[in-house]
A and B are shown apart, each in its own frame.
Chain A
């Protein structure tokens, strides 16, 4: 199915669908927990999910990126360990990447 976000209707459709699915992800686990028995395997799966998703997002960026991205990850980690603030650490990564790209391209 193709949608043209250049039209007001197309953009509204995409945003509305995203909003519906976004709310569904927030409410579904809450709703289903009234019926689902959380076996140890289900609990282990739910616990592993966030890291699997993050590994899947980060691996292509780390592999296809170059020294600027690697420096960025290092700077992010450093600030996270020292300051313990997620968003501040990510902003530090942005600054490091910008600096590295300016210096070594």
Chain B
């Protein structure tokens, strides 16, 4: 069954995405506040939210915004944070089969966790309108960008972001994502190996290399552990 792309699908996706936009806006607000604090201008932060569209990666990249190695560190941040999208994109292929590339690739630009999960559910239920996915992504981007602009514009009024605990938003968000991914004891291997290697690398050097090192080591260890468990 070939995928379709309809106006009605976009409308349905956009309307289903609206209830989630306040959450996206809150996330964007925190990014905007921290970006302004790091010296990123309002316009720059807003543009970044539209074209990069990766909250966790953008938050992590802020840590190195004022350091000389900002380019490398930011790209490592995007690669490390968006690494899961390799998997998500791969999983989208069967659902989007049959769409012409000039529709498929711009659609993937809007890929985030929530509309990916929705797309997998659509597929499960036998629906194949990719415009639903794009409608959801469009709603998310509007909320995320509006929040960013508000945070970067008025965040200065908030004062000390550490006192407000805003630096804890990203760790907390990742923590719940990890809880959601948790399926059983087999998941302990990637989590522990990833964490252990990250601690070791973090103790040696700065930046965000510990994320890449831990992520690679943990996932490879997890893959072999799972395979041994399956064949044993």
Interface residues of A (CB under 8 A from B): 1-3, 5-6, 10-19, 21-23, 25-34, 38, 40-41, 44-61, 63, 68-69, 72-73, 76-77, 80, 85-99, 101-102
Contact = CB atoms under 8 A, between A and B. Distances in A.
Interface of B: 23-24, 26-27, 39-41, 44, 47-48, 51-54, 57-58, 61, 65-66, 68-72, 74-75, 78-93, 96, 104-105, 108-109, 111, 162-166, 168-169, 171-182, 187, 189-199, 202, 210-224, 226-227, 230
Given A27-B89, A29-B89, A53 B83 contact: yes
Given A52-B190, A56-B218, A30 B178 contact: no
Contacts of B68: 2-3
Contacts of A89: 172, 176
B60 to A, nearest CB: 8
Contact of A25 (B40, B82, B175, B180): B82
Give the secondary structure class of B's interface. Answer: helix
Nearest to A100: B165
5 contacts: A30-B104, A52-B190, A86-B23, A94-B168, A96-B165
B198 to A, nearest CB: 4
A25 B90 CA distance: 10
Contact of B198 (A50, A59, A68): A59
A70 to B, nearest CB: 11
Given A60-B198, A60-B199, A94-B165, A52 B23 contact: no
